[in-house]
Amino acid sequence: MLDVVPVVAVVLAAVACVLAALALRRTAARPTGAGVDALPEDVHGLRQEVAALKAENADALRHLSVVRYDAFGDVGGHLSWSLAVLDDAGHGVVLTSIHGRSEARTYAKSISSWTCEQQLSPEEEEAIEHARP
Give 24-78 pLDDT, tens digit per residue: 777 666 555 555 556 677 888 888 889 988 888 888 898 999 999 998 877 778 8
Say if 50 falls within a structural domain: no
pLDDT reading at 120 higher than 80: yes
Decide if 103 is inside a domain: yes
In a domain, 30, yes or no: no
Number of domains in the chain: 1
- 92 domain-assigned: yes
Mean pLDDT for the stretch of residues 94-102: 91
Higher pLDDT, 8 or 64: 64
Q: Which residues contact 48 (CB under 8 A, 6 or more apart)?
A: none
Q: Is 26 exposed, middle or buried (0-12, 13-18, 19+ CB in 10 A)?
A: exposed
**Structural domain span for residue 96:** 63-131
Residue 84 lies in a domain: yes
Contact 65, 127 (CB under 8 A): yes
pTM greater than 0.85: no
Overall size of the chain counted in residues: 133
Residue 1 in any domain: the answer is no
- Which amino acid makes up residue 43? V
Name every residue whose Cβ is closer than 8 Å to that of residue 116 and which is 6 or more positions away in sequence: 94, 109, 110, 124, 128
Q: Is residue 110 part of a domain?
A: yes
95 domain residue, yes or no:
yes
